[in-house]
Structures are given as C-alpha cells and as structure tokens.
Amino acid sequence: MALAKSFSGGTHVPEMKHLSEKSPIAAGLRPKQVVIPLSQHTGAPCDPLAKVGDKVRLGQKIGDSQAYVSAPVHASVSGKVTAVAPRLHPVQGRDVLSVVIESDPEDELDPSCTPKGDLDSLSPEDIKKIVRDAGLVGMGGAGFPLAVKLSPPKDARIDYYLLNGSECEPYLTADHRLMVEQADSIVFGFAALVKSVAVKEGIVCIEDNKPDAISAMEKAVGAYPGMKIAVLKTKYPQGAEKQIIKAVTGREVPSGGLPFNVGCLVSNVGTADALATAIRTGIPLVERVVTVTGAVKQPGNLRLRIGTSFQDAIDQCGGLLPEACKVIMGGPMMGISQHTTAVPVIKGTSGILALDAGTTPTEEQSYPCIRCGRCADSCPMGLQPFALKAYTEAGWWPFTERYHALDCIECGACSYRCPAKIELVQWIRLAKAEIQARRRRGASK
C-alpha cells in the first residue's frame, strides 16, 4: 500500500466506528408515513407537484423548481398524499413546506422508472439529464445539486474528479459499508460522473482505517482505465472538500474559491451509488444508507426511504439506551442537534447519532481563553480561531473579515482541541453571518 496522503492541520478524534462498521447494510422497514421536505438541497426549494388526496407512486416526482440551483424531490413510497404543509426540517430547524404521504402495501413503481441504457450509449448530456431528473445532490451532507456541479464554467479545465470515501466523522460508517458491499455500483456511478465532464483521471479517496473498503474498491476500479485509488491518512477533517483536494493533488483552493478553480471536482461515494441506481433502474433518489449509532441498543446501517422519521429508524435499531440525552443528525463534529426525533431522513442524512451525558459538553465546562494556540494548530484552513472569537465578541467585524472568517469550514476541530472548552465554531458562525449581512446591506468593509 502506498504512503497515505494528508493535509496540514486537523486533529485526531476517537473514531467510535467499531459500533457499526461490521454491521451489513439492512433494509429499512417501509414506513407507514413519510414526510418529504420540498427543500433538501442547497438552492431554491421546490414547488409542490402533488396535492392532498392524490395517489402517488414510488419514484414519482412530487416537487420541482425552475431555478437553476435546485433539485427535484420524489415520492419514496406509493400511497396517498394526506398533507402539503409545513413540517419540521432536521437541518433548517424550522417548518418548511413538505409533502406527507401515507404509504400503501403495494409499493407501486412509477412508470417513469425505467433503465436508461448502458454507459457506453449515454452521452455526457444524457448523464447530466439523468442526474437532474433523479434529484441527485451531494450525499456527504452538503446537499449541493449534482447537476449544477457537473456544469462548471466553460473556461474551467477539470483535471481530476475525486470520489470521497474518507468518511472522517466519528461514529459514521454508512459510506464504509457501501464501499464494502456495493463497490461495483459505486465505481459504475463514478465512471458516469467522470464521463459527464470528460475528465481523464478519476481518483477514489479512502482513509487508511478502512482496509476492507480499499480492497473492495481496488478490485472494482480495475475494470475502468484512468481510475485509481488514493489512500489517505486517517485524520479529521480529511473528508472536507478542500482538504481532500490538497492531500491528493497538492492543489490549494484559493480563499473564496471553489474546487473547479483548481481543476477538480469532488463527489461522495453515496452520490455515485445513487447515480448508478438511476441509470440502471431509473429509480431516482428515494432512499439512502444511514448509520444509526451511539446510545442505541443495536447500532447499525440502514437503507432508509427519504421521509422516514428518525424515531422509526431508532426503533428499528432497538430504541435509545436509558442514558441517551441528545440526538444528532450526522456526526458529533459537524452534525446538527435535534430537539425531537419526529423529523424526517432527507437526502443529506448520513447518520442518526444518540449521545449520552458523558460525551456531551456543557456551557459550565468552558473557561477563558489561555491563548495556547491549539485551535490554530488544528485548523485545516490555517485560520486563527482564538482571534476570530475575540474580534467577534468585541464586534470588530472588519477584523473578522480580514482574518478570513468566511474561509472557516465549520469542522469543529478548533472547539475539540480547545482546553478551555470554548465553542469557537459558534463564534465564527456569528462572524460569518454578520459579514454576509453587512455585504448585503452594502456596508463598507
């Protein structure tokens, strides 16, 4: 095995992957009801295409938008629409317009769900159309519409397409299991992504704590010329887009820039698998693999329908342990705390994590900054979080911008390393929000 690649900064966190990494992907139980938000992606929310009382089929489009940056949503079950109304969103933390469907036992497939042909017969434009019609978005958590990513500016030269299988967040193993069990499907989908943008080199990027996934993916890529594996050092946040580009290609995305500015595109292995499904079966993005772990009785990986409630997923894993005190969507570093489990799985739900009191910090544990610099040493973007916190607290907004607050990827490495237990990311988020608000108001920098 080649020497593992890495990036500057970052930190090592307890992986906690042992809870679920050996658990094969199990089929989620078909939910009696799904709640499908019309906003599951970066960009404009969809307009509803279904109304109360409609009979819908599995895979039927039930929401779309004419906006360029958007992605349609589809019914994940067949059944009857019982509501088109605001429902609580697990990311936005507020009610957003959603389609509620009571499922029926037929699970009838929509007639539009038919195979799209073999890869050789599909043109780049055909693939992009399949991507858009299937409602594919980045499934690593960002939720950026994939069709938009596959349409960089015409003057952008793309040299590398990186497939992100690092899964550096603690506890999460959904991508790991997907690579072990569905390597051929992932690589087929990746080949379609590479073809859609005419890139000569596709690189599958996996951290070295997943030897079984590396082995499975190495076998799968052997059938595709111009595709290879890059082994990455296990370090957080190795899976962040800019860090994976730096580690694999040596290129550095400039401040305020995007991957295409340095000739790269990055997608998640789950996204490639979903594209393979859309091409081979015609079924759009209506389910995804989710790790349900932490303080639950039977941690594991479930392939869940979009719109399944967190509570249903937790119940399938035996329920919460008595000591569970917090439920997070995603991992402990960048995940989003939920105040109820009555929220739906969406396209970007990679994990449902229950934490107990022993792993949950409280405000009473924080102390004044001792300016030790550990936050700066661990920042993968080379920022000075302690300074950004001080400037934010003082309201010195021009200084927060001068110290590149907007470059923060909110990975949480600084907060994790801080011996004073200061929630540095929260202060930087405040600075970013204020900078963006001042720009909208046209204020001077």
Of 227, 255, 281, the residue at which a domain comes to its end is: 281
The residue ranges of the chain whose pLDDT is under 70 are 1-3, 359-364, 443-445
Residue 357 has a pLDDT of 82
Tell me the pairing of strands 227-232 and 201-207: parallel
CATH code of the domain covering residue 220: 3.40.50.11540
Residue 337 has a pLDDT of 95
Amino acid at 188: F
Backbone angles phi, psi at 237, to 5 degrees: -100, 75
Tell me: do 240 and 378 sit in the same domain. Answer: no
Tell me: do 269 and 141 sit in the same domain. Answer: yes
Tell me: do 269 and 379 sit in the same domain. Answer: no
- Euclidean distance between CA atoms 294 and 203, whole angstroms: 32
Tell me: do 254 and 372 sit in the same domain. Answer: no
Residue 161 has a pLDDT of 97
Residue 200 has a pLDDT of 83
Residue 4 has a pLDDT of 81
Backbone angles phi, psi at 3, to 5 degrees: -60, 130
**Structural domains counted in the chain:** 2
Do residues 44 and 74 lie in contact, with contact meaning Cβ atoms separated by under 8 Å?
Answer: no
- Euclidean distance between CA atoms 48 and 245, whole angstroms: 37
Tokens of 175: 């991508």
Is residue 319 assigned to a domain? no
- 3-state secondary structure at position 69: coil
Closest CA to 22 of 161, 188, 207, 210: 210
pTM as predicted: 0.94
Tell me: do 222 and 370 sit in the same domain. Answer: no
Do residues 142 and 259 lie in contact, with contact meaning Cβ atoms separated by under 8 Å?
Answer: no
Tell me: do 376 and 275 sit in the same domain. Answer: no
Residue 444 has a pLDDT of 47
Is residue 320 assigned to a domain? no
- Euclidean distance between CA atoms 104 and 33, whole angstroms: 9
Residue 345 has a pLDDT of 98
Is residue 49 assigned to a domain? no
Residue 184 has a pLDDT of 97
Is residue 203 assigned to a domain? yes
Of 254, 281, 308, the residue at which a domain comes to its end is: 281
Is residue 372 assigned to a domain? yes
- 3-state secondary structure at position 72: coil
Tell me: do 131 and 272 sit in the same domain. Answer: yes
Structural domain that includes position 204: 17-21+114-281
- Euclidean distance between CA atoms 50 and 62, whole angstroms: 5
Tell me: do 263 and 378 sit in the same domain. Answer: no
Of 281, 297, 322, the residue at which a domain comes to its end is: 281
Tell me: do 181 and 273 sit in the same domain. Answer: yes
Sign of the alpha-carbon torsion through 332, 231, 163, 426: positive
Is residue 292 assigned to a domain? no
DSSP per-residue letters across 80-109: EEEEEEEEE-TTTSSEEEEEEEEE-TT-PB
Model pLDDT for residues 101-148, shown as the tens digit of each residue: 999 999 999 999 999 999 999 999 999 999 999 999 999 878 899 999
Tell me: do 268 and 400 sit in the same domain. Answer: no
Tell me: do 275 and 368 sit in the same domain. Answer: no
- Euclidean distance between CA atoms 368 and 372, whole angstroms: 11
Is residue 205 assigned to a domain? yes
Is residue 357 assigned to a domain? no
Tell me: do 243 and 130 sit in the same domain. Answer: yes
CB burial readout 186-208, b (16+ within 10 A) else e: bbbbbbbbbbbbebeebbbbbbb
Residue 3 has a pLDDT of 64
- Euclidean distance between CA atoms 278 and 136, whole angstroms: 9
